[in-house]
Chain A
């Protein structure tokens, strides 16, 4: 399939030579031609890269054998219909001048470019609102530049007023100062958050209200920013696994799987069948957990606290199984590059099945309260509608995208771990309203349980770790008695798993959407650069489009329905 993409690209841009890296096609574009190329990629029906997954930059300051400019910006694009993954790389000569913005083409570029500016100090010409996003506005320097010392902390105090930004949004909607000072249409500015019961974390939703109707909305994130990417540059590959737990902490194990899958695919390691099935079972189990949390919290926001207990009780009970297996309740860190930390324990099938039945019962109980409930229908149907075009433009993936009617799921479209051999359906919505988002998640719970049951039946016996000395620790027997074993153990622990030099992107269908990892490796045991493509970040970037014109109560349940997880959003 990707061959056709290369052919199409060659036909359009004869002077550009596409390369293939894993699933992705990579092209290098000169900054002068960037806009032309991007516009064609987006608008040509043959190419139709409607989904901008991520934008990031690489700082080659300390990269061995580095030539050319210091910075390079990488755009990751996807054509969801034909499952084409494309990375466009373009060098940046002067970060102050930077590159032209693509935020006119994709809504997702707005926040993505802000993040690049924040972390690397690369400007985007023509960007409507180029401010810091993850770091505090008073922060000095750009933390992901290689010359920014990781130990250099900064303490910032002043809150961001955001008044200029919200006035700009109001002005864009035709509401000027004179309308605002009129007593009949006076605006009230209201902060929902950062500490608000409905933000389930810390997000600042700044709204301009007319009565209870939200006329304009600006959001501030970054309250949970802890520099995941910078920390990752100072850890060996396996040491990063516990950090990934903290991304989407509702489904920690999915992050572990996504991360090691990305590393393994670059190393070219084919993990054992049993490990694959374990990852399928646990991944789907955690998808169920994630959806349970999301739905429970969302229904609480609606005022239906009983649903919360029906769903959350089972989620809490599942932790018994999870802690029995992984030793931890929330932060499992259960995968390793090359396999799993350990095999299932004796009698896990019965535990798992009991848990699945309990979850099914809880979900069905909750559905009884929700499915025929007129209040729920009135609250959720037709509110905060997201059109498929907007969803794609803002880079929505996962259940949020599927609720708009776009059946894009990496498990079907780019199957890994034998997903193509399982019998399951991808539930999609029809209108993209809150109701669809809730119901898609409810349905996905049942589909995931279906997958788990099939996988439990089919799981083969065998080792859970590959027999590959590059990644697997040698048996203790060899470590204690043979010098090769000892040296191998020592090098793996101290230097980490060594990856060949290069750059690659690999993604995984996490509970919230496409969780991608963009790596740059210099051949050592620590990643030169690691960028996460968090699904929530892009979901949040389109949030204002959904809630403007709706009421406060809708905004609250909408925030719950797109499932923003602070750990993943702010990293």
Chain B
């Protein structure tokens, strides 16, 4: 193994481990600010470090510190302490492990070597996801059961029954999708979506499987236990369900696990149905071949975007009444200057690239970064859909949820398999 190999493996693993974790902060922020946006209110915007509030992101820091320093209680009535402690870890780790097989960029070709851009290059791909998601249930069951609390048991039962029964439509909707792609390897699936259908439509999963995408997204929502499927927590009914007895960092692990799961399932939805890292109409090879024009476009586009973003910050980040030595305007000035210095740095890097490094490996790395960006933006938007749905819909009742799973989703998924099968057979 060369040093480059080891470096790339390290980078891949770091990406797989740290991106979901840092997205937890972003998602918690998005959840709060998104909720506030939908509900006509401001959301958290007071926490600051020397007047810098970062649009409310500092609140996450405060919450993190609070959760770390809270007393970590294991209630005296708990008999199986091992399971009680194991449960939150299981929930968190399984959520994180799912991300390992999701490709975040096309295969990187450096010289004569190829590097698959997954944290763990495994060609069982989607099967790994199904396996690990199945393990997530253990965390919930163990948490509910070992809490030795009736609400906990009810929450655990609800969650387990829900996850188990929604795995079936999820698996079935995957069957038809896999029949279309002809592989279970997520890298291959992502590459497949780089093609064009009839020469002008990107061959993304949601175009090929319009029914499957709906079933899969609904099932994915159910698997992450989020509204309208948040019966396991159902704070107004069973208080907090399976994590009612948890406090401090053990609770935080559940909390973060939920957001990691949301990130991972968004990433998976994007990978399977929304073209993964593909930028529409620009396949990897096209991008590599036209690296220079792309960079020039970027160099023009960045300042324009930054200009509008800065304008938006200036418009919104201000005090709405007179204040001597307004801290808000100071804050805005800092943001805007940070933004512009970032733009300048990027422009300089791109310029250096254009003058010295264009062609060869640098093009490949540039495309890799672009595709990572595309993947993260798509995932971010999908996460926003999660937030959007959560703050729009009320929750189901337990029996209605099961009814939808078994009586609607399951037949529809089967129907989808038949239709897909018929089309594939008749066209091949």
Contacts and interface: CB of A to CB of B under 8 A. Distances in A.
A504 to B, nearest CB: 42
A282 to B, nearest CB: 26
Interface in B385-428: 391-400
B329 interface: no
Nearest to A198: B236
Given A303-B228, A375-B228, A552-B238, A313 B394 contact: no
Contact of A303 (B39, B41, B236, B398): B236
B394 A556 contact: no
Contacts of A198: 236-237
B393 A553 contact: no
- Most chain A C-beta atoms within 10 Å of own C-beta, residue among B227, B236, B400: B236
Contact of B236 (A188, A301, A375): A301
A212 B151 CA distance: 11
A376 to B, nearest CB: 6
Interface stretch (A304-312, A483-491, A516-524): A304-312
Contact of A306 (B38, B236, B400): B38
Nearest to A313: B40
A554 B236 CA distance: 11
Interface in B355-402: 391-400
A551 B399 contact: yes
B125 interface: no
A378 B39 contact: no
Interface in A364-388: 369, 373, 375-376, 378-379
Nearest to B231: A553
Given A212-B154, A313-B40, A379 B396 contact: yes
Given A369-B392, A551-B399, A197 B236 contact: yes
B14 interface: no
Contacts of B230: 303
A240 interface: no
B397 A303 contact: no
Interface string A409-452: 00000000000000000000000000000000000000000000
Interface in A477-524: none
B202 to A, nearest CB: 32
A36 to B, nearest CB: 47
Nearest to B235: A197
A474 B53 CA distance: 58
A379 B236 CA distance: 15
B304 interface: no
Contacts of B38: 306
Given A376-B394, A551-B397, A303 B239 contact: no
B306 to A, nearest CB: 33
A190 B39 CA distance: 34
A179 B268 CA distance: 47
A379 B394 contact: yes
Contacts of B81: none
Given A303-B228, A313-B41, A369-B392, A378 B239 contact: no
A300 interface: yes
A554 B397 contact: yes
A196 interface: yes
A313 B42 CA distance: 12
Interface string B28-49: 0000000100111100000000
B318 interface: no
A108 interface: no
Nearest to A301: B236
Nearest to A370: B394
Contacts of A552: 154, 237-238
A302 interface: yes
Interface size grouping (class) on chain B: 20 to 34
Contact of A196 (B41, B231, B239, B396): B239
A531 to B, nearest CB: 34
B150 interface: yes
Nearest to B391: A306
A378 B395 CA distance: 11
A301 B239 CA distance: 11
A305 B231 CA distance: 14
Q: Is the interface of B mostly helix, strand, loop or mixed?
A: loop
Interface string A305-329: 1111110010000000000000000
Contacts of B139: none
Contact of A212 (B227, B236, B392, B398): B398
B394 A302 contact: yes
A376 B395 CA distance: 8
A263 interface: no
B103 interface: no
Q: Is the interface of A mostly helix, strand, loop or mixed?
A: helix
Nearest to B150: A190
Given A310-B40, A313-B40, A556 B396 contact: no
Contacts of A309: 39-41
Nearest to A199: B236
A180 B399 CA distance: 23
A305 B154 contact: no
A304 B237 contact: no
A46 B38 CA distance: 56
A299 B391 CA distance: 12
Contact of B398 (A305, A306, A310, A553): A553
B234 interface: yes
Given A212-B398, A375-B395, A556 B237 contact: yes
Interface string B137-172: 000000000000010001000000000000000000
A375 B41 contact: no
A305 B391 contact: yes
A300 B236 contact: yes
A309 B40 CA distance: 7
Given A379-B397, A552-B237, A303 B227 contact: yes
Contacts of A551: 397-399
Contacts of A556: 236-237
Interface in A281-310: 299-310
Contacts of B236: 197-198, 300-303, 556
Contact of A553 (B150, B228, B234, B391): B234
A299 B234 contact: no
Contacts of B40: 309-310, 313
A407 to B, nearest CB: 29
A190 B394 CA distance: 24
Contacts of B41: 309, 313
B355 to A, nearest CB: 52
- Most chain A C-beta atoms within 10 Å of own C-beta, residue among B391, B392, B397, B398: B397
Nearest to B396: A375
Contacts of B392: 306, 369
Contacts of B399: 212, 551
Contacts of A300: 236
Contacts of A304: 393-394
B39 A306 contact: yes
A398 B238 CA distance: 30
Nearest to B151: A190
A373 B150 CA distance: 31
A279 B40 CA distance: 32
B231 to A, nearest CB: 8
A305 B39 contact: yes
Nearest to B228: A375
A484 B216 CA distance: 85
Contact of B400 (A197, A307, A379): A379
A471 B235 CA distance: 51
Given A303-B228, A551-B397, 12 more contacts: A196-B239, A212-B154, A212-B399, A301-B237, A303-B393, A303-B394, A305-B39, A306-B35, A306-B391, A375-B393, A375-B394, A379-B396
21 contacts: A197-B235, A197-B239, A299-B394, A302-B395, A303-B393, A304-B394, A305-B35, A307-B394, A308-B39, A309-B39, A310-B39, A313-B39, A313-B41, A373-B394, A375-B393, A375-B396, A375-B400, A379-B400, A551-B398, A553-B397, A554-B397
Q: Which 9 A-B pairs have the closest CB atoms?
A: A303-B395, A309-B39, A304-B394, A302-B394, A303-B394, A301-B236, A553-B397, A198-B236, A306-B391
